């Protein structure tokens, strides 16, 4: 199973993200089963993954996309071109008219936003959604940083404010509370909404249970999820059900290939790489994510404390980026043999929430994007260089534009 990616890793220029079509298909097969057996819609949340090169594959299974703002909605309409849903905690006046041309559903976050824009959107023939905060915190990673229902969260209308909403104008109820959740939390959310917010579910035609349902993870019981959806639909037969996963659809379905540039020693050996946690995998620094590394073992416990490398992988290295940020650290890993300059490392589970957040801090080049087909064929999807770095810094003095 690993040979195709090993061969691909030798051929690409590093750093490079590689999407594995075979593994994406495996994830999509789970989504297709849920969609068919539970009778629900499944959307791709493009905040987590947005690679047009694999959209033709995903379009066969998924019903559309969810955008987190105007630019994503533009991208989704142009590149995916199925049903488009859009949600943002707050919209600018200048965005709403264009969003109404692009999205089929526009979700609002508060009674105030609803009051400002709902009538305009409705007049354009588009459907209206409202996000609520059910006070149900079940994010399983990253603490409050990734918990939509954390104390003082800005996401969603609170239960005590729901009766202020113009329910006659609302088509969809949006509830997103999960992050990398297992089946027990998915089922608990569905039950919570039915038990505590059923009166509001009765007022709409559609409910969106959001993302964070990691139904492609190894220990996720898909049967339990399907049973919970069916029970919900029996209770509310007039209501359509939607899920909008992002990471789950590309979970363990891609890689970041990087090259070792140096191995200095300062109390511990460090492998300085041509990639960067700061620039290329921000969840390593923001949350508690440590990517799997092929042919290596992680030498940290769940609390982030370093542990001794096992006898099978006695050579430990801190994997680090080459930016000037001291904390640009990926983690401590053990290897079977010493690393040397020019060695290539393959980091796993690298598609979700990584390249969509990349930066060129310190002039760090953006990784190129590749697609690996099922037969091992490797296709380049993009090639970034200096121009991308320079473009982000703005025009030179001679090209500045005077405001009117």
Model confidence pLDDT, tens digit, residues 262-310: 999 999 999 999 999 999 999 999 877 899 999 999 999 877 788 999 9
Q: Check residue 153 and give its pLDDT.
A: 87
Beta bridge partners of 319: 271, 331
- pLDDT tier at 384, thresholds 50, 70, 90: very high
Structure token digits, residue 269: 């050996």
Whether residue 226 contacts residue 39, with contact meaning beta carbons closer than 8 Å, is answered with no
Could you give phi then psi for residue 90, rounded to 5 degrees?
A: -160, 140
At 29-71, the pLDDT tens digits run 999 999 999 999 999 999 999 999 999 999 999 999 999 999 9
* CA-based max dimension of the chain: 69
pLDDT at 142 over 80: no
pLDDT of residue 140: 59
Q: How far apart are the first and last CA of the chain?
A: 60
Q: Are strands 254-262 and 16-20 parallel, antiparallel or unpaired?
A: antiparallel
Identify whether the C-beta of residue 82 lies closer than 8 Å to the C-beta of residue 60. no
CA 232-234-238 angle, 5° bins? 95
Query: 181 forms bridges with which residues in the sheet?
Result: 213
Q: What is the pTM of this model?
A: 0.94
Distance CA 353, CA 251 (A): 10
Tokens representing residue 104 in the block = 């089929």
Query: Is the CB of residue 36 less than 8 Å from the CB of residue 226?
Result: no
């Amino acid at each position: 199973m690993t040979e195709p990616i090993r061969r691909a890793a030798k051929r690409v220029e590093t750093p490079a993200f590689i999407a594995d079509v075979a593994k994406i298909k495996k994830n999509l097969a789970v989504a297709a089963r849920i969609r068919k057996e539970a009778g629900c819609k499944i959307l791709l949340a493009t905040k987590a993954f947005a690679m047009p090169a694999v959209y033709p594959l995903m379009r066969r299974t998924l019903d559309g996309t969810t955008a987190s703002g105007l630019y994503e909605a533009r991208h989704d309409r142009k590149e995916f071109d199925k049903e488009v849903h859009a949600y943002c905690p707050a919209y600018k006046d200048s965005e709403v008219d264009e969003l109404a041309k692009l999205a089929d559903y526009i979700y609002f976050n508060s009674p105030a936003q609803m009051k400002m824009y709902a009538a305009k959107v409705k007049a354009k023939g588009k459907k209206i959604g409202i996000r609520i905060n059910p006070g149900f915190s079940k994010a399983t990673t990253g603490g409050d940083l990734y918990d939509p229902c954390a104390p003082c969260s800005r996401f969603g209308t609170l239960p005590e404010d729901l009766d202020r909403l113009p329910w006659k104008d609302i088509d969809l109820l949006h509830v997103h509370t999960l992050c990398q959740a297992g089946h027990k939390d998915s089922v608990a959310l569905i039950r919570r909404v039915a038990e505590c917010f059923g009166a509001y579910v009765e007022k709409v035609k559609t409910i969106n249970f959001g993302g964070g349902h990691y139904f492609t993870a190894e220990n996720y019981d898909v049967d339990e999820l399907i049973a919970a959806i069916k029970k919900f639909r029996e209770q509310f037969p007039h209501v359509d059900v939607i899920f909008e996963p992002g990471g789950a659809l590309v979970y363990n379905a891609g890689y970041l290939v990087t090259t070792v540039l140096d191995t200095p020693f300062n109390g511990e050996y460090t492998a300085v790489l041509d990639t960067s946690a700061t620039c290329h995998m921000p969840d390593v620094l923001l949350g508690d994510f440590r990517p799997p590394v092929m042919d290596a073992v992680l030498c940290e416990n769940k609390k982030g404390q370093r542990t001794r490398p096992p006898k099978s992988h006695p050579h430990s290295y801190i994997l680090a980026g080459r930016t000037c940020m001291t904390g640009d650290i990926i983690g401590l890993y053990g290897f079977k043999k010493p690393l040397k300059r020019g060695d290539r490392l393959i980091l796993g589970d690298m598609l979700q929430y990584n390249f969509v957040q990349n930066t060129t801090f310190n002039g760090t080049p953006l990784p190129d994007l590749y697609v690996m087909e099922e037969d091992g064929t490797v296709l380049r999807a993009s090639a970034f260089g200096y121009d991308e770095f320079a473009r982000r810094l703005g025009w030179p003095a001679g090209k500045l534009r005077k405001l009117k």
